[in-house]
Structure 1
Amino acid sequence: MRSRELGAYLRARRDRLSPADVGLPGGGGRRVKGLRREEVAVLANVGSSWYTWLEQGRDVRPSVEVLAAIADALRLSSGERRHLFLLGGHPDAEQPSNFEGVAGRLQVLLDSLSPHPAVVITPWFEPLAYNASFRFMIDDLEALPEADRNCAYLHFTHPDWIAGHSGHEQEYAALVAKLRAYHGESVADPAWAPLLGRLREESPLFARLWEQADVSTEPGWVKRIRSLHVGNLTVHAITMLIEENPRTRVVVYQPVDRTTQERLEELAHRIARGAVDGPATVRRLRPAT
């Protein structure tokens, strides 16, 4: 099915182009409305017969490099390229990497969700943008060195984040299973290696859970969090994907009960009054065990 869809997509994109669009002479007597297969093959520097097999829907399994060359030959847009790679069996080959641009456009939305904590994160749990309620949900995220502000890293190394999550083993096993699932979606991304290496080295618990190779894409679960500012919170973590960059996720912490709602409102009031602790002396990190 995927091979047939790939062939149909290539034919449709080829028919859309004229020789002039790609710098080729038109000439008379053409029996096709767009480019010929042979012309696409030449532009992409692939064999004509092999490209024909692709359009015929044969199971020839094109490589990332070949698909990139065909995408260039067909003048595909970024969205069209992503679709081509998906049909070709390489869903993570050309995912958009401008996480910061997406996050910047979402800041107003995040702020409007107050008093509910909300954050935009990468697949490796790096917060790109967040509202004030998320910043102070446990302690003060911005009191930490910028290099340490990764939610997965803090879960396993920072005393307040470790103490701030009840059901320690179960909570952290679920986090690692989701992290491993996201890793599988973008395993070639160079951002993974330094994070995973650091976590393995500094947290025996992470190393043990990662080696279990559990994978989960289950929706958000109920989390019980201990805030240094307003006490215990019970929230439902709701995760949403961003269409223009599906690897970017928005996580909103919705209160499960009235007490949590009131405490989040109190946190928002304290933030507005400047009555929460600002950046303070950074506590020494220690690994979770």
Structure 2
Amino acid sequence: MVSMMRRKELAGFLRSRRESLAPEAVGLAGGSRRRTPGLRREEVAQLSGVSVTWYTWLEQARDITVSRQVLESLSRTLQLTPAERSHLFALADAPLPAEPARRMPVNPTLRALVDTLDPNPAHVINPSWDLLAYNRAYANLVGGLDDLPDEERNSIWLLFTRPGMRALLLDWQREARDILGQFRAAAGKNPDDPRTTALVDALLAASPAFASMWSAHPIKAFASATKHFNHPHVGRIDINYTKLAVTEDVTQHLVVFLPVTRDDAKSLERLTELDRPVPAQG
């Protein structure tokens, strides 16, 4: 049940957007004979495919049920922006379905932040864990990223298809199981996403290890932790990592790795000072 306060907010929001939308914007005639600004209630109801009485009750903050289908129709009729549409669903206590994972552009400021974090490895991912941006430190830690096609520049794909990752991660089996559990928990929020489905199908065909772990349905909540690497150029590196949400695009996350000790920090500096990106291992 939607609380009275939320129903009042919903009613006020709908009324404000209805009154701010010119009739001409939806193909109706305007003119000075209109007694109210914007659209009439009956016009919004007709354009949205609902009854006038029902829509009136909605603007009166009555305790009625609002389906997602009706919310989508109202959103289209009132020509809401993506942010306004999300707000409408939130006020109606109807969470939006997860957006499909797409390679959306990374904000230039966020990209600059990723670069500034050198010599600490950092990258930006989407819900399918595609690498949308990364700095030189991360490229040299993992190796061989720049020349990969977009569909293979993906954390899960690299983990299970690149032989060198088994040597790079000191406890690959545990790391792979934990990371796959986090990935599956995230993928479960939008099981019909075409990018994630294509990635899983490709991994099932390419990696017996992935197929075996995936069939066990691992699920794990994300938690900051320490990863242990044995890099072919700089040796042992222990790194703490965490993941931060990107507020302006909820489909993106910033992943940052920080050294555990001063020796680890020096190793990361040596890694970043390599003349060129490290080639893929294995």
TM range (shorter): 0.7 to 0.9
Structure-2 change in CA distance of 1:148 and 1:261 (3 Å): same
* CA positional deviation for 1:234: 0.9
Aligned twin of 1:200: 204
**Cα shift readout 1:173-197 (whole Å, capped 9, x = no counterpart):** 2111111122133333321111011
CA distance in 1, matches of 2:21, 2:138: 53
Q: Is the Cα–Cα contact under 8 Å of residues 44 and 77 in structure 2 kept in the other structure?
A: yes
- Alignment map for 1:148-167 (pairs within 5 Å): 148-167=152-171
Structure-2 change in CA distance of 1:193 and 1:18 (3 Å): same
**Cα shift readout 1:192-216 (whole Å, capped 9, x = no counterpart):** 1110111122223322332333333
* Cα-Cα RMSD: 2.9
Q: Is the Cα–Cα contact under 8 Å of residues 127 and 251 in structure 2 kept in the other structure?
A: yes
Q: Percent identity?
A: 31
**Matched residue type, 1:45:** G
Aligned twin of 2:97: 92
Q: Is the Cα–Cα contact under 8 Å of residues 104 and 129 in structure 1 kept in the other structure?
A: no
- Mean Cα displacement is larger for which, 235-244 or 70-79? 70-79
* CA positional deviation for 1:69: 1.8
1:232 aligns with 2:236: yes
* CA positional deviation for 1:258: 1.5
- Alignment map for 1:1-289 (pairs within 5 Å): 1-2=1-2, 7-16=7-16, 17-18=18-19, 21-23=22-24, 24=28, 25=30, 27=33, 35-52=39-56, 56=61, 58=63, 60=65, 62-63=67-68, 65-86=69-90, 87-93=92-98, 95=99, 99-270=103-274, 274=275, 277=278, 279=279, 283=282
Q: Is the Cα–Cα contact under 8 Å of residues 14 and 40 in structure 1 kept in the other structure?
A: no
Structure-2 change in CA distance of 1:262 and 1:170 (3 Å): same
Structure-2 change in CA distance of 1:250 and 1:276 (3 Å): closer
Structure-2 change in CA distance of 1:89 and 1:229 (3 Å): farther
Q: Secondary structure at the match of 1:191?
A: helix
CA distance in 2, matches of 1:119, 1:164: 18
Q: Is the Cα–Cα contact under 8 Å of residues 139 and 227 in structure 1 kept in the other structure?
A: no
How many residues are matched? 274
* CA positional deviation for 1:5: 6.6
In the superposition, the TM-score normalised over structure 2's length comes to 0.83
Q: Is the Cα–Cα contact under 8 Å of residues 226 and 240 in structure 2 kept in the other structure?
A: yes
* CA positional deviation for 1:141: 1.9
Q: Is the Cα–Cα contact under 8 Å of residues 203 and 211 in structure 2 kept in the other structure?
A: yes
Q: Is the Cα–Cα contact under 8 Å of residues 235 and 253 in structure 1 kept in the other structure?
A: yes
Q: Could you list the runs of 4 or more consecutive aligned residues of structure 1 that deviate by over 6 angstroms after TM superposition?
A: none
Q: Which runs of 5+ in 1 are unaligned?
A: 284-289
Q: Which runs of 5+ in 2 are unaligned?
A: none
**Matched residue type, 2:217:** A
In the superposition, the TM-score normalised over structure 1's length comes to 0.81
CA distance in 2, matches of 1:276, 1:266: 12
Q: Is the Cα–Cα contact under 8 Å of residues 103 and 129 in structure 1 kept in the other structure?
A: no
CA distance in 1, matches of 2:206, 2:23: 53
CA distance in 1, matches of 2:75, 2:40: 15
Structure-2 change in CA distance of 1:219 and 1:103 (3 Å): farther
Aligned twin of 1:287: none
- Mean Cα displacement is larger for which, 53-62 or 106-115? 53-62
Q: Is the Cα–Cα contact under 8 Å of residues 222 and 234 in structure 1 kept in the other structure?
A: yes
CA distance in 1, matches of 2:72, 2:2: 18
Q: Is the Cα–Cα contact under 8 Å of residues 107 and 129 in structure 1 kept in the other structure?
A: yes
CA distance in 1, matches of 2:265, 2:235: 12
Structure-2 change in CA distance of 1:59 and 1:124 (3 Å): farther
